[in-house]
C-alpha cells in the first residue's frame, strides 16, 4: 500500500519513494496531465483520425535488468528482446498495429562490439517477430547501461483500446499464457525438475516473451474488448488499475489454468497455480468484455493462436476487489518507487517476494 492515501495532499518535500507509483500518478501527474486525451492508458494518442486511418499512438518504456540475467542468461540478446517486448506490449493493449520502434542506448565505453551486436540482434529479432522494425534512435556513452525505446502504432478507425469503458457485470479475460518466466526461475532454483526438452521450451518462452499484438488488434478490429491493459506489473495491480479507472470492483477466480508443464512445476514446488499466474513477466493482457461476448472473444483469439480464459467479473465499486472465497484480494504488485519495485537481487529472495514462496 502507498504511504499516502488517495485524498491526502502531497507537499513538495514528500519523497517519491514514500508515495509509490500509484500515488505519484494520482497526486502529481493526473492534476497536471489528466485532461490530455488518453491519459492513464498504456499508450498516448498522437492524432485522432477516427474516420480516416485510426488513431496514431505511442508509448515509451525503459528496460530493467531482465530476470533471466539473474537466472544465468547473460547474453545481451535477451535485454534487447525484452526492451522491444515491453514497448510492443503497450501497443497490444491499445489494439494497435506497430509502425516502428525508436531505440535509445546508453552504454558503458567498456561494452564490446560483439555485446552491442547481440543487443541489437535481440531488438531486431523481436520487432521482426511482431511485424515491425527499428526506425531510428540514439546512442551515447554512460557509466551504466540504460535501454529505452518508443513504439509507435496505428489503431483501426474507432477501435483504439484503453483502460476506460468497462461496466459492472463485464467479464475479465486473461489473454495469453501466464507463468513461464517464474516457472523457469523455479527450475533454475531446482524447486522442480522436468525433462530437458520441456525445460528448453520453458526457457525459450521465458527468455523471448511475445507481446499480444495480434490478439489486441483482433479484439479491437472485432469491437469485442471494452477495456484492456497489459499485465506488466502483475495481475493484481492490473485488475486494481482497471477497477479504479472504471469506478468498479471485481471478483477474481483463483482457478486459473496453466499450461501442463507449468502446473507440474507448481505441484513439485508446493506453489499454488494462482500464485504463479498472478506474477509479472509474461506480457499477457487483461480485457473486459460483455458477458454475451465471452465465447466469441475466446474463439476470435483462438483463431490468432492465443489462449484466453475468463478470470473474473467486474462488480460495483462498493463490493471491492475480492477472490472467489469472498476474501479481499491482497495481491502482489511490482510498484515503482516502492519496496516492491524491480531492481533485481538474489533469486531465493525474489522467489519469496514475487511468488510468496520461501525457497527451500
137 marked as binding residue:
yes
d(CA 178, CA 329): 19
Residue 297 annotated as lining a ligand binding site: no
CB 189 within 8 A of CB 64: no
What is the C-alpha to C-alpha distance for residues 258 and 276, in angstroms, rounded to an integer?
Answer: 9
Is residue 138 marked as binding? yes
Was 305 annotated as part of a binding site?
no
Contact 209, 173 (CB under 8 A): no
Residue pair 281/68 in contact by the 8 Å Cβ criterion? no
Tell me the C-alpha distance between 17 and 354, whole Å.
Answer: 19
CA distance 155 to 47: 11
287: nearest Cα among 232, 335, 215: 215
Q: Is 15 annotated as a binding residue?
A: no
62 neighbors 148 (Cβ within 8 angstroms): yes
- How far, in whole angstroms, is CA 85 from its chain's centroid? 9
Does the annotation place 13 within a ligand binding site?
no
Q: Which three cell numbers stand for residue 301?
A: 483469439
Is 230 marked as a binding-site residue?
yes
Listing DSSP states for 266-302 in one string gives HHHHT--HHHHHTSSSS--EEEEE-GGGHHHHHHHHH
Which three-class secondary structure state does DSSP give residue 184?
Answer: helix
Task: Give the orientation angle of helix 260-269 with respect to helix 196-207, to 10 degrees.
Answer: 100
Give the DSSP letter of residue 319. Answer: G
Q: Give whole-number Cα distances, 271 to 20, 191, 263, 333, 349, in Å.
A: 28, 10, 9, 18, 15
Consecutive H or E run containing 334: none
Confirm or deny that 232 is annotated as ligand binding. Answer: yes
* Closest CA relative to residue 284, chosen from 235, 321, 247, 326: 235
Q: Is 5 marked as a binding-site residue? A: no
169 is in an annotated binding site: no
182 is in an annotated binding site: no
How many Å from the N-terminal Cα to the C-terminal Cα in the chain?
Answer: 28
**Given the DSSP bridges, would you call strands 248-252 and 321-323 parallel, antiparallel or unpaired?**
parallel
Binding-site positions for Mg(2+): 42, 59-61, 90, 138, 230, 233
Binding-site positions: 42, 59-61, 90, 137-138, 163, 230, 232-233, 329
Binding-site positions for ATP: 137-138, 163, 232
Binding-site positions for substrate: 329
Amino acid at each position: 500500500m502507498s504511504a499516502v492515501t488517495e485524498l491526502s495532499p502531497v507537499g513538495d518535500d514528500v519523497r517519491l519513494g514514500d508515495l509509490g507509483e500509484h500515488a505519484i500518478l494520482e497526486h502529481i501527474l493526473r492534476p497536471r496531465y489528466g485532461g490530455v486525451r488518453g491519459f492513464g492508458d498504456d499508450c498516448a494518442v498522437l492524432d485522432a483520425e477516427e474516420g480516416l486511418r485510426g488513431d496514431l499512438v505511442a508509448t515509451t518504456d525503459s528496460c530493467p535488468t531482465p530476470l533471466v540475467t539473474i537466472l544465468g542468461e547473460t547474453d545481451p540478446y535477451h535485454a534487447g528482446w525484452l526492451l522491444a517486448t515491453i514497448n510492443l506490449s503497450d501497443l497490444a493493449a491499445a489494439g494497435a498495429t506497430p509502425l516502428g520502434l525508436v531505440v535509445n542506448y546508453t552504454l558503458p565505453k567498456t561494452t564490446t562490439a560483439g555485446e552491442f551486436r547481440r543487443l541489437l540482434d535481440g531488438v531486431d529479432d523481436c520487432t521482426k517477430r511482431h511485424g515491425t522494425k527499428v526506425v531510428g534512435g540514439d546512442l551515447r556513452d554512460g557509466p551504466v547501461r540504460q535501454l529505452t525505446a518508443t513504439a509507435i502504432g496505428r489503431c483501426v478507425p474507432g477501435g483504439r483500446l484503453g483502460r476506460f469503458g468497462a461496466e459492472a457485470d463485464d467479464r475479465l479475460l486473461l489473454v495469453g499464457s501466464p507463468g513461464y518466466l517464474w516457472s523457469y526461475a523455479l527450475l533454475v532454483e531446482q524447486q522442480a525438475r522436468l525433462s530437458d526438452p520441456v525445460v528448453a521450451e520453458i526457457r525459450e518462452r521465458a527468455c523471448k516473451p511475445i507481446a499480444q499484438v495480434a490478439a489486441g488488434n483482433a479484439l479491437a478490429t472485432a469491437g469485442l474488448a471494452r477495456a484492456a491493459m497489459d499485465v506488466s506489473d502483475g495481475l493484481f495491480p492490473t485488475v486494481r488499475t482497471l477497477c479504479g479507472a472504471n469506478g468498479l470492483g471485481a471478483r477474481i477466480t483463483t482457478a486459473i489454468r496453466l499450461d501442463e508443464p507449468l502446473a507440474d512445476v507448481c505441484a513439485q514446488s508446493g506453489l499454488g497455480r494462482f500464485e504463479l499466474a498472478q506474477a509479472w513477466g509474461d506480457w499477457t493482457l487483461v480485457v473486459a468484455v460483455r458477458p454475451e461476448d465471452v465465447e466469441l472473444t475466446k474463439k476470435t483469439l483462438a483463431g490468432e493462436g492465443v489462449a484466453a480464459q475468463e478470470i473474473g467479473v467486474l462488480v460495483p465499486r462498493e463490493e471491492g476487489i475480492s477472490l472467489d472465497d469472498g476474501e479481499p484480494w491482497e495481491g502482489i504488485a511490482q510498484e515503482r518507487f516502492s519496496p516492491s519495485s524491480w531492481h533485481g537481487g538474489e533469486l531465493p529472495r525474489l522467489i519469496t517476494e514475487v511468488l510468496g514462496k520461501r525457497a527451500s
